A and B are shown apart, each in its own frame.
Chain A
Amino acid sequence: MSIVAAARKTKTNTSFLPTGISSFFKEVGEMSAFAGKFFRQVFTPPYNFKETLRQCYAAGNKSFGLVAITAFIMGVVLTIQSRPTLVEFGAESWLPRMVSVSLVREIAPIITALICAGKIGSGIGAELGSMRVTEQIDAMEVSATNPFKYLVVTRIIATTLMLPLLVIMADAIGIFGGYIGYNLKDHISIGFYFYKVFHQVSFSDLFPATIKTFVFGFAIGLIGCYKGYTTKRGTEGVGIAANSAVVVASLLVFIIDMLAAQISTLYN
């Protein structure tokens, strides 16, 4: 037996981790290397401004309608559901504050991130996966264009920038939904409702929530790109890439949200 073969055999025998766990750590390592490559390339020229803008438009446009409708419904439903409890304690006047703080701090960011993980993350995973298996990424590489920079860097920048904008829009529409929900049972003028919202929602509610949405956007773009860019096994692989992009990105959104909640409590 050659030295190399013997070394390989020894390596296999000393592998003490179950396959699932070792492949999990392998994937985490590869994903970290992928993220590292992004940070190395994002600041080095040439910069694809036009393609980045195109991706920003695609990411925003793709999710705008769904985010707007969902945020509106969440605002209405949250108001309707919270109202009886607050009425019971004679705290009905707190309804605009409760709805707006809930939306701004948690509901709008998490719902928007999950919608984007589904729409944008799966879209990126499927698109890049399809480009990989049809050799379009190889074609870009052999024509001396850096496919990572053109396809991955632009998409991750786009999702990182667009998610906070979508969340701010979802905040506004959700709070407006709250106004409609309030008026289904009672009456409040729109001016007074928004006076209460702006009077009672502070910068410390908005700022950490907005910061974490940049991280959500980065995670969604990174996972979508990683899964698509590293697709293997033909068209079956494209389906797997799209599916796992959604699953992993959604899970990561919850993990980041939990960490962000912990970090923000340190400063309160």
Chain B
Amino acid sequence: MNPNIENKNNPEEAVIQVNHLKKAFGEKEVLKDVNMVLAKGENLVVMGKSGTGKSVLIKCIVGLIQPDSGEIKVFGKEILGLKHSALDTLRVRIGFLFQGAALYDSMTVRENLEFPLLTHSKKLAKNEIDDLVKQALEDVMLADAIDAMPSDLSGGMRKRIGLARTLILKPEIMLYDEPTTGLDPVTSKEISELMVKMQEKYKVSSIIITHDVECASITANRIVLLNEGILASEGSFEEMKNSKEPWIRAFFNE
């Protein structure tokens, strides 16, 4: 791997640090030795072919998957081996947008957005919760969908509602798992622009897993490429696009 990748940012500003992360599923080594830093306020895009472990990486960061070895520090705190209650305290500060948005099917949009507030902000009055829900929906331009069921929404709308539900707790870090997959180019662009808008408005630091080149061009402050279980290359969108390595150029000019 490029040894500079973990050193490009000042670790003091790092909100996430990943060191020598390894994860295998049976005989298949998905992450071989991943080293990565997410700086405060930046949008870091992780790209790579399907099946290279991009989603596994962010699921390890949030504790959904236990890595085999390595170190993951979030806000300077090592999360591996952390007690469940301490991990939950950290998780409240991290938002995670799933590939399919993962809206709760049995709840309306309003109930989906109220759910994290009722769980974590129990002192809020009913009218304060209503205001926060409306504000979150206005942020994603879907105030009219407040009483709709998830099954009535299109793919793009579900992604936006998922984003609103994640942002309602004002996380300091956002992890996006393929936020534009399965969407048409216009909606993909809207979602990408929304992510940048949310970064500017709420000052969140984000890791964006994608293989959508346009999404990367809109959202990335920095891009890292995951290849065969290691972060193989790093740079800005322009640097990657004009890379001397043919396989990287091919990826960005597809």
Contact = CB atoms under 8 A, between A and B. Distances in A.
Name the interface size band of chain B. 20 to 34
A54 B147 CA distance: 19
A138 interface: yes
B7 interface: no
Interface stretch (A141-149, A168-176, A242-250): A141-149
Given A138-B64, A139-B96, A144 B102 contact: no
Contacts of B63: 142
Contacts of B120: 144
Binding site secondary structure of chain B = loop
B91 A139 contact: no
A131 interface: yes
Interface residues of A, number: 15
A191 to B, nearest CB: 46
Contacts of A134: 100, 102, 105
Contacts of A127: 106
A130 B105 contact: yes
B89 interface: yes
B116 A143 contact: yes
B105 A131 contact: yes
A136 interface: yes
A130 B64 CA distance: 18
B237 to A, nearest CB: 28
Interface in B95-111: 96, 98-100, 102-106
Interface string B13-51: 000000000000000000000000000000000000000
B109 to A, nearest CB: 14
Nearest to A145: B119
Contacts of B62: 142
Interface of B: 59, 62-64, 88-89, 91-92, 94, 96, 98-100, 102-106, 115-116, 119-120, 166, 169
8 contacts: A127-B106, A131-B104, A135-B100, A136-B102, A138-B64, A138-B102, A139-B96, A143-B96
